[in-house]
Amino acid sequence: MNGSRTFRTRPGAFLRALCILLSAPSLGSAQTSHELVLGREIGFVSTGLAFHGLSLLLAHNNADRQTPMIDIGRVPGIDRVATRQWSLAAHRQSNVLFGLAAAASIAGGIVNQHGERPLLPVAIVAEAGLLTSGLTNTVKELVRRPRPYLYNTDVPSSAYRSSEDYVSFWSGHTANLAAITFATACMVQRSDASPNAKTFTWIGAAAAPAAMAYLRVRAGRHFPTDVLTGYVVGALVGVVVPYFHRSENRPH
């Protein structure tokens, strides 16, 4: 009863215990290349949540503002190809790809642990995803870029969604998937996996968000510059977050 009261009244104690549990080495296993530290995890999670909160505030304020002008003349030449794209199939495929690629990436990270702290890569990938999605949603509301399908006269007005029509920059699907796959690849790179396994992981990490970028443009949901920027941002976050989780107990 006293222990239950402690976890209810002191949430920091629960988070501290969770970090210890995830970081506790398995009996007879080798040292891992990454670790969790309570203060650092609070920092990453708090930053991600802060960005999400800011994005919600901006979205609320933007609801009463005038929508941006739809003028094809203001679309850069590199992006105009997207204004002729529209595919519900590509949109659905991008959602399926996200789920499959994210699940495969996380599963690969767990398997690569060989039973040693199997949930540690899940925590690191989750932090990368939370930070990327929060930053993405905030920038979307700050920029308020119209989606490509608004310029396409072949797209029925029934496809329009007031909460989705002006959040084109940058691509959340691409950024979030890149953060997940690159975070996993970085952790595998610092492990004792074989060179072939590391190469295969990096190929998959780079190819999955690239395929996502194509599908999002084909679906008429994003411009090329949206997906390119999302790819770079997601990849950077996916590299940086695991970097700050490197274990101090072994050289890298």
> Is 248 part of any domain?
no
* DSSP notation for 70-81: --GGGS-GGGGG
pLDDT at 250 exceeding the cut of 60: no
pLDDT at 9 exceeding the cut of 70: no
> Is 142 part of any domain?
yes
> Is 230 part of any domain?
yes
pLDDT at 240 exceeding the cut of 90: yes
* Per-residue model confidence (pLDDT) at position 28: 31
**pLDDT confidence bin for 197, thresholds 50/70/90:** very high
List C-alpha distances in Å: 150 to 85, 147, 168, 173, 223: 11, 6, 11, 19, 12
3-state secondary structure of 246: strand
Average pLDDT over residues 87-109: 97
> Is 252 part of any domain?
no
Span 47-70, pLDDT tens digits:
999 999 999 999 999 998 899 989
pLDDT at 15 exceeding the cut of 50: no
Average pLDDT over residues 70-78: 95
List C-alpha distances in Å: 66 to 76, 128, 140, 166: 22, 33, 16, 11
* Mean of the per-residue pLDDT values of the chain: 88
Span 210-237, pLDDT tens digits:
999 999 999 999 999 999 999 999 999 9
pLDDT at 20 exceeding the cut of 60: no
Structure tokens at 27: 């009996």
Question: Global pTM?
Answer: 0.86
> Is 145 part of any domain?
yes
* DSSP notation for 111-168: HTTTTSSTTHHHHHHHHHHHHHHHHHHHHHHHH-PPPGGGG-TTS-GGG--TTTTT--
**pLDDT confidence bin for 32, thresholds 50/70/90:** low
Query: What is the total count of domains within the chain?
Result: 1
> Is 250 part of any domain?
no
Which residue segment(s) compose the domain that 8 sits in? 2-243
* Per-residue model confidence (pLDDT) at position 176: 98
pLDDT at 17 exceeding the cut of 60: no
In terms of Cβ atoms closer than 10 Å to its own Cβ (0-12, 13-18, 19+), residue 80 is middle
How big is the chain by its Cα radius of gyration, in Å? 21
